[in-house]
Structure 1
Amino acid sequence: MPATMKGPAIFLAQFAGDSAPFNSWASITAWAAGLGYRGVQLPSWDARFIDLARAAESQAYCDQIAGIAAENGVAITELSTHLQGQLVAVNPAYDAAFDAFAPAALYGRPVERQAWAVEQLKLAAKASRRLGLAGSVSFTGALAWPFVYPWPQRPAGLVQESFGELAKRWRPILDVYEENGVDVGFEIHPGEDVFDGATFELFLERLDGHPRCRINYDPSHFLLQQLDYLAFIDIYHERISAFHVKDAEFRPNGRQGVYSGFAHWVERAGRFRSLGDGQVDFRAIFSKLAQYGFAGWPVLEWECALKHPEDGAREGAPFIAEHIIRVTEKPFDDFAGSGDARLGRRMLGLDP
């Protein structure tokens, strides 16, 4: 049957704060609905919105969370575990930087921090099931990222070792998601070991094609790498389970290219932009996803070096709604139908 996307939806992580309406589940879902969103992607680490451990154990609590959202006119699209997923695998070079993703009691304790993250992810699998969700979104984490550029020469087997270890850490987590009937859509993202199609294949191969290892498709990261984000859909559409609608632009010059010279976001040759302000061809993307029957949620992830977040959120809902394709239920040329299928054999001279 033809499939039409849901939506529009919005990822709440970039909007959460200590001031109303961004400081409670009831007020932020009402805010999102008021802008025209029909779904919200919930950051599972934000205690202002959800108690993840309680959600994993209590159906009544999950019903309450979903009920508040529904009363305000939105549905939960997915739980995000980006921060916890990042901590599944952290190269020692990034230990201090990523401590902030965990409770303060775990700072400087990478082994305990990783164990906490793994447990959080398992809780999110159970909470997702109780919330009636088919998927979640996350990061893979990274062991090999500091060695992404092949200079100095990498020791033999470094890449194979790192992806083997990454899969070893994720397999038991993904098995819990399998038990709960929930996908993990990994955001393919620089800073993660899985940052393009080739690295996703390395990861998936070492997971023996685990059915819950999926993709959270975000074209902005591909544009900044100069990867063909439309061909990516052709290749990997069967694994795409979630969709972040985020814009970006890449304007190289005589001083900067893809690596952008350690510049801050405003001065980078490649930078994220609010929807419609960048170079991503969303009409082609929505067409490709419709072609392959993607029926999930297009979720605004607002990240922009220039525009105010509330303006980006306000503009995002109508932008996404305009791009959602209501998939047709019949061929456009049905009016010119040629009748009985047996006519084909006659036209080929196979029947008298």
Structure 2
Amino acid sequence: MKTIKGPGLFLAQFASDEAPFNSWDGITKQAADWGYKGVEIPSWDGRLFDMDKAASSKDYCDDLVGKARENGVEITDLSTHLQGQLVAVHPAYDTAFDNFAAPSVRGNPTARQEWAVDQVKKSITASRNLGIDRTVSFSGALAWPYMYPWPQRPAGLVDEAFDELARRWRPIFDHAEDHGVDVCFEIHPGEDLHDGDTFEMLLERVDNHARCNMLYDPSHLVLQCMDYLDHLDIYKDRIRMFHVKDAEFKPTGRKGVYGGYQSWENRAGRFRSLGDGQVDFKSIFSKMATNNFDGWAVVEWECAIKHPEDGAIEGAQFVKDNIIRVTEKAFDDFTQDGADAGANRKMLGLG
């Protein structure tokens, strides 16, 4: 068993143009003041991080790590959620996702996809320069517009989508293998990898590549009405990262999983600050400990109701209260009388 590291904080929802959230020095100090021991970097945010420098300069990375430690936190990992989304974009979403890309490649899906792949590869190189062995991303989506099986999907459509997804990600996994870094997909609606079946569909196509792994976020499974505890047991050998995020699902006679096109606060399923939702974190942290999870418990705040700073402050304490410092001995060790082969045989009636 292992004790989880934490609490960590994903900085994406807190970075802004307002001090102290507009600089690496300021935001890491604030995270530490809130009670966090680690931070996850949104790699696309130039106010906090320079991807090109991080991928090419160990000195830059050493300075980044040093400043964070000086302020009281470690770097847990790099996020490329936005860039990973652009590795595979269905044309229906070209406009919606175009602003995730650098201005120079917007409006050009081919150039945008090449840029996205380069960004994810750079995040892997940068992770190694930072001394980190895992990074989180989205898979992107080619099949998502056809998620619901009506109208009937043509034979081979989904297979072709996942074949292509594998073709695009395989070189990234190989690059990750060269650098000793795991790529962890956040299993998430809107991505082709949105549940266990779809993750396995990609995994099979990349020959069970060792660097193809998962980030576990129970909130996205709750909103799909999945058994998020069973999911932990099924994929424990592939789960390498953990977002601690709460959610609730309260269907009515008017709405359910699909949400009725309502705003987040008016959906049947919505994200909540830690402790305000329905997720059984006591069981999750117990399973994480017994499954030998060796990563960070990182808070991702996305509550539809509570103020982010309140959610962050409460979240740090929530994770501290739930992390299990695992025992190094059994509770009944005091009864142990040592090994005695002869006594064992006698107890079994073997003379």
Displacement of 1:108: 1.4
Displacement of 1:345: 2.2
Q: SS at the partner of 1:238?
A: coil
Specify the alignment match of 1:203 in structure 2: 202
Q: SS at the partner of 1:8?
A: strand
Displacement of 1:331: 1.0
Aligned residue runs from structure 1 range 55-134, under 5 A:
55-134=54-133
Q: SS at the partner of 2:197?
A: helix
Distance (whole Å) between structure 2 residues aligned to residue 264 and residue 288 of structure 1:
33
Specify the alignment match of 1:328 in structure 2: 327
> After TM superposition, where is structure 1 displaced by more than 4 Å over at least 4 residues in a row?
none
Displacement of 1:38: 0.2
| Deviation sequence 1:11-64 (CA, Å, 0-9, x none) | 000000000010000000000000110000001111111111111111111000
Aligned-pair RMSD on alpha carbons?
Answer: 0.8
Indicate whether 1:167 and 2:166 are aligned.
yes
Whichever residue aligns with residue 198 of structure 1, its letter is D
Distance (whole Å) between structure 2 residues aligned to residue 344 and residue 207 of structure 1:
49
Q: SS at the partner of 1:173?
A: helix
Q: SS at the partner of 1:345?
A: helix
Aligned residue runs from structure 1 range 1-352, under 5 A:
2-342=1-341, 343-350=343-350, 352=351
Q: SS at the partner of 1:225?
A: coil
Q: SS at the partner of 2:235?
A: helix
Distance (whole Å) between structure 1 residues aligned to residue 323 and residue 95 of structure 2:
41
TM-score, normalised by the number of residues in structure 2: 0.98
Distance (whole Å) between structure 2 residues aligned to residue 243 and residue 23 of structure 1:
25
Q: SS at the partner of 1:189?
A: coil
Displacement of 1:105: 2.5
Displacement of 1:338: 4.3
- Verify the 8 A CA contact 2:2 2:290 in the aligned structure 1: no
Distance (whole Å) between structure 1 residues aligned to residue 337 and residue 157 of structure 2:
61
Aligned length: 350
| Deviation sequence 1:281-327 (CA, Å, 0-9, x none) | 00000001111111210000000111111111111100000000001
Distance (whole Å) between structure 2 residues aligned to residue 331 and residue 233 of structure 1:
24
Q: SS at the partner of 2:256?
A: coil
Displacement of 1:165: 0.5
Displacement of 1:104: 2.1
| Deviation sequence 1:217-275 (CA, Å, 0-9, x none) | 00000000000000001100000000000000000011111111111101000000010
Distance (whole Å) between structure 2 residues aligned to residue 281 and residue 113 of structure 1:
40
Whichever residue aligns with residue 327 of structure 1, its letter is V
**Which segments of 5 or more consecutive residues in structure 1 lack a partner in the other structure?**
none
- Verify the 8 A CA contact 2:282 2:322 in the aligned structure 1: yes
Distance (whole Å) between structure 2 residues aligned to residue 91 and residue 199 of structure 1:
17
Distance (whole Å) between structure 2 residues aligned to residue 50 and residue 269 of structure 1:
36
Distance (whole Å) between structure 1 residues aligned to residue 104 and residue 223 of structure 2:
36
Q: SS at the partner of 2:270?
A: strand
Q: SS at the partner of 2:75?
A: strand
Whichever residue aligns with residue 84 of structure 2, its letter is G
What percent of counterpart residues are identical?
64
| Deviation sequence 1:96-154 (CA, Å, 0-9, x none) | 00001001222211100000001111111110000000101110000000111100000
Displacement of 1:210: 0.5
